[in-house]
Amino acid sequence: MKVSRKVMGVEYAIRDIVAEARRLEAAGRRVTYLNIGDPPWYGFQAPRGVLEELSRSALAGHAHYAPSEGLAELRAEIAKKEAAKGLDCGAEDVLVTNGVSEALDMVIASIVEDGDEVLLPGPYYPPYASYIRLHGGVPVEFATDAESSEPDIADIRSKVTGRTVAICVINPNNPSGTVYGKKALSEIVDIAAERGLYVICDEIYDEIVFDGGFDGIGSVARDAAVIVLNGFSKVHLMSGLRAGYMAFSRTPALDAIREHLPKLARVRIATCLPVQHAALASLRMPNGYIADFVSGLRKRRDAVVRGLDSVPGLSCPVPRGAFYAFPRIEDERFADDRKFVMGLLESRGVLTVHGSGFGSRYGSGHFRVVFLAPVETLEGAVEAIRSYMA
Ligand SMILES: Cc1ncc(COP(=O)(O)O)c(C=O)c1O
């Protein structure tokens, strides 16, 4: 029976490679999983009050449908958070979704037609390219300097064509950990405003920044067509509960999408109500646990980056945010990053993700290591990589 070419083209490297690891485990091998950015899976649990609110809501009978746009109190609390980062928005500008993933799908579905181009930071989080292709569009990567965390503005300008509809920003970036500053964000917004493009900015790691502060794109958005994507999977340690949102900047440039996109929210009905109650509790509670999480991550980052950078044949820029190291493979014997990752898995039982899964242009020749595991596990993995390459 027929299957669409669009769906055949969907890829998600981070999960696609797990099948091979499972096969090894079934054969009795031990695997160290450093492939998925899932904090609770590694033991970073959401505060008890959040989980209590989840179960209280379920037991109170909230197993019914929620409003399609999201719970009013949650939208108001999200708007407060985004406004504090500089976005001009209120509760009516927020739409609650089943994770950033669903928000991304809805936004891309609403703006991309066959052949339209969307600029993506290279390397990028894979679902960006997958959703763009699924909706008939063409992902186009632009360069970012991994050492300085600066996007190449001239490269962005040169890649805007008559078919471009949007520039995506992932800040902090998965997989590279780069964090754009205000000047870079402002230059991207300028290009978008000049050329009549949307700016879609994913800030899911906004509070996981190690060196210096974080600038929300909202603080430089002015009248541009800026849409912020964010959620509860990373900072709020609620990945499996599936809560995210989009927040629209208050600008006439977004009038048309704001009229039509909410129809997509209505056809998929709603986000789980007890999960929304838990998300609300998470935003309202003291956020000391986030500071503890980030300081634990800083120790892991320092250990893993120092280790990887000391391995002959690798060079590892220091990620400024999120929880991923993205070393470059400089040893030509390992020029094919997928073979490198598969060989490492088979010979040493360490699962990472090949860089080409994050974009062929700027991701190839790298691999991604998630640094959520304990420092000893990460140090063991670095030594396994060292001996594998030797
Ligand atoms: C940049 C980025 N956006 C979105 C997601 C997925 O978010 P959610 O769990 O809210 O769907 C991830 C997960 O790794 C991510 O790295």
Question: Beta strand pairing status for 117-122 and 138-145?
Answer: parallel
Given 249, 284, 319, the domain boundary residue is 284
* CATH of residue 174: 3.40.640.10
Residue-wise pLDDT tens digits, 331-353: 999 999 999 999 999 999 999 99
pLDDT, position 325: 98
Q: Which whole number is the average pLDDT over 205-232?
A: 97
- Same domain (yes/no): 233, 335: no
Q: Which two tokens stand for residue 208?
A: 């996981």
3-state secondary structure of 56: helix
Rounded Cα gap, residues 245 and 315, in angstroms: 36
C-beta atoms surrounding 52 within 10 Å: 12
Q: What angle do CA 190, 194, 200 make, to 5 degrees?
A: 60
Answer whether 322's CB lies under 8 Å from 328's CB.
no
Q: Kindly state whether residues 214 and 301 are assigned to the same domain.
A: no
> Quick one: 273 and 315 in the same domain?
no
Atom number, ligand 1, closest to the C-alpha of residue 231:
10
- Considering its fold, how many domains does the chain have in total? 2
pLDDT for res 14: 77
Residue whose CA is at the smallest distance from ligand 1 atom 16:
174
Q: Are residues 72 and 37 in the same domain?
A: no
Find the angle CA(327)-CA(166)-CA(148) to the nearest 5 degrees.
30
Residues 6+ apart with CB under 8 A from 233: 38, 99, 100, 204, 239, 242, 243, 244
Residue pair 40/237 in contact by the 8 Å Cβ criterion:
yes
Domain final residue pick, 262, 284, 306: 284
Tens-digit pLDDT profile for residues 168-214: 999 999 999 999 999 999 999 999 999 999 999 999 999 999 988 99
Pocket test for ligand 1, best of 234, 239, 245, 353 (most atoms within 8 A of CB): 234
Residues 192 and 171 in one domain: yes
pLDDT of residue 322: 98
Give me the CATH number covering residue 358.
3.90.1150.10
Q: What are the CA-CA distances from residue 247 to residues 109, 149, 217, 376 (Å)?
A: 16, 25, 12, 39
Of 284, 311, 328, the residue at which a domain comes to its end is: 284
Tell me how far the alpha carbon of residue 333 lies from the centroid of ligand 1, in angstroms: 33
As a whole-number percent, the residues of the chain with pLDDT over 90 amount to: 95
Q: Are 143 and 359 in contact (CB under 8 A)?
A: no
311 with 356, same domain: the answer is yes
18 and 54 part of one domain? no
State residue 276's pLDDT score: 98
Domain span at 221: 48-284
31 and 119 in a common domain: no
pLDDT the model gives residue 11: 80
Asked if residue 274 and residue 312 are part of one domain, the reply reads no
Q: Amino acid identity, residue 329?
A: I
Q: Lowest-pLDDT range, 1-10, 242-251, 336-345, 377-386?
A: 1-10
Tell me: do 29 and 57 sit in the same domain: no
Residues 19 and 75 reside in one and the same domain: no
Q: Say whether both 142 and 159 belong to one domain.
A: yes
Distance (angstroms) between ligand 1 centre and the Cα of 371 equals: 16
